[in-house]
Amino acid sequence: MRARLLTAGPDALADHEMLEMVLFLALPRRDTKPIARDLLTRFGSYAAAIAAPLQELRGVEGLGEAGAAALKLVQGAALRLAKAEVLHQPVLNDWDRLMTYLNTVLARERVEQFRVLFLDNRNRLLADEAQGRGTVNHTPVYPREVVKRALELHATALILVHNHPSGDPTPSREDIDMTREIVSAAAALSIVLHDHVIVGNGRWLSFRKGGLL
């Protein structure tokens, strides 16, 4: 597997082989093949396995803290690589790249997470910050806190983002009302809200493109 990886790249390895190799680095004296196959059976894919909640990973026999930490390290590396593609870039110029990043961050979350992308006056991404985590269908959002943070970062524009763990990105009445409240609070300080994006499982919805903003 190592030879194939080094000569042909990661595409030459199947999902279970990728997991085997990652786990072998953390569990060098263990046969990691059955653990890798158990992870795929439980979670369905390589991506879902590394994105699985830590509590669920701890329930996988033989994985242990070291194996779980290895998977979370891989997930963290993937998120940092994705973020590097958009950080300090004019995000409105490459919507596909932005959505790839947002899907990487949010598509497999089990509970709602509300994030704000803070942009400068050239629409370059200054920061992407989680403002709150909630339940499977609700996250409390405070417009005043969003605007306060924008001022701290000297941001002049925002993109709101949250996920729907159900996979359906259709906005709720609460989503629409909350967006309007943030538009009003931001406008009072000359901060522009460019969009609100809802991420589902492999699907997304833009308030701007949907005529909701």
132 pLDDT band (50/70/90 cuts)?
A: confident
| CB of 163 closer than 8 Å to CB of 129 | no
pLDDT at 134 over 70: no
With 70 as the cut, is the pLDDT of residue 209 above it?
yes
Measured from the Cβ of residue 159, the count of other Cβ atoms closer than 10 Å reads 25
Contact 33, 16 (CB under 8 A): yes
In the chain, residues under CATH classification 3.40.140.10 are 85-206
As a whole number, mean pLDDT of residues 133-150 equals 77
Reported as a pLDDT band with limits 50, 70 and 90, residue 199 is very high
pLDDT at 43 over 70: yes
pLDDT single digits (tens) 105-131: 888 888 889 999 999 999 999 999 988
Q: Which long-range contacts (CB under 8 A, 24 or more apart) does 51-60 make?
A: 51/75, 51/108, 53/110, 60/35
CATH 1.10.150 placement within the chain? 2-81
Mean pLDDT, rounded, for 15-41: 93
pLDDT tens-place string over residues 71-89: 999 999 998 888 888 888 8
Top CATH class, 2-81: mainly alpha
Task: Specify the pLDDT at position 138.
Answer: 57
* φ, ψ of residue 82 in degrees (nearest 5): -65, -40
Check residue 133 and give its pLDDT: 72
From 3.40.50.300, 3.40.140.10, 3.40.50.170, 3.20.20.20, which CATH number describes the 85-206 domain? 3.40.140.10
Please list, in sequence order, all residues whose beta carbon lies within 8 angstroms of the beta carbon of residue 48, skipping any fewer than 6 positions away: 108
Cα Dmax for the chain: 61
Phi, psi of 130 (to 5 degrees): -75, 125
Q: What is the mean pLDDT of the chain?
A: 90
With residue 43 as reference, give the H or E element that holds it: helix 33-43
Token pair 């919805």 is found at: 205
pLDDT at 62 over 90: yes
